[in-house]
Structure 1
């Protein structure tokens, strides 16, 4: 299960307001980004908050054969959170994950970005590995 888990918080997004408010626009962006070679969408669900007349944000998930992409928008504060986990089971997909994440970030045109990267599936040899019995 080795892989790269990327998290990003986007602030003061200057993209078209529809991208922050409309689940359909968010879906189109996420599916376009997940068409990147090395990512294989196998399912999706997106939810519109508010109403058709007054949309107020969206949330969506694309399930990937390699893991997942989750995106949540807050148009009232021009913010977005991204969560992209890409497994490296048969090959190292870290570059693909970083490219997809950067494409998403660029689409929202944020003034400020907080990014985090976590290498998963590589136990910390200096740390304590717990089992369910000793948690």
Structure 2
């Protein structure tokens, strides 16, 4: 079950506002980046939040992968995004593929500040 989990909080994203506001734009880009990296999308669910007047607000979405998932959540009013890219490395090492998706999303979002963590999942503790 060993895998790589890339987690980031992105601030002051200087991308096209549609990327943060339009679920169709964000979903298609996330799915395309996964395919381009050689990962296997099994499905995607993206939800469009709206203000009371019907104007689009943020987007939350997940691409379910044969290798695990990509999850993204946007806050256009503060130009912030949270991002998770997780791949398991059971039958092959997908770490480079995960890093490719992660880098593509950061290039798309153009954050001024990034707080990130790389977590290796499934490592046994030394006492085991």
The TM tier, using the shorter chain, reads over 0.9
2:65 aligns with: 64
Structure 1 residues 106 and 37: alpha-carbon distance in aligned structure 2, compared to 1, 3 A threshold:
closer
1:119 is matched with which residue?
Answer: 120
What CA distance in whole angstroms lies between the structure 1 residues aligned with 2:91 and 2:123? 15
Aligned position for 2:88: 87
Where does residue 100 of structure 2 map in the other structure?
99
5+ unaligned residues in a row in structure 2: which ranges?
none
Once the two structures are superposed, the pairs formed by residues 1-135 of structure 1 within 5 Å of their partners are 1-50=1-50, 53-125=54-126
Moved more, 51-60 or 77-86: 51-60
Runs of 4+ in structure 1 deviating by more than 6 angstroms, as ranges, are none
* Distance across 1 between alignment mates of 2:42 and 2:25: 19
Instruction: Give me the whole-angstrom Cα distance separating, in 2, the residues matched to 1:18 and 1:53.
Output: 16
Gaps of 5+ in 1: 130-135
Larger radius of gyration: 1
Pairwise CA distance, 1:124: 2.2
SS at match of 1:35: helix
Q: Normalising by structure 2, what TM-score?
A: 0.94
Offset of residue 32 of structure 1: 1.1
The TM-score with structure 1 as length reference comes to 0.89
Q: Distance in 1 between matches of 2:88 and 2:72?
A: 18
Distance 1:37 1:73 in 2: 22
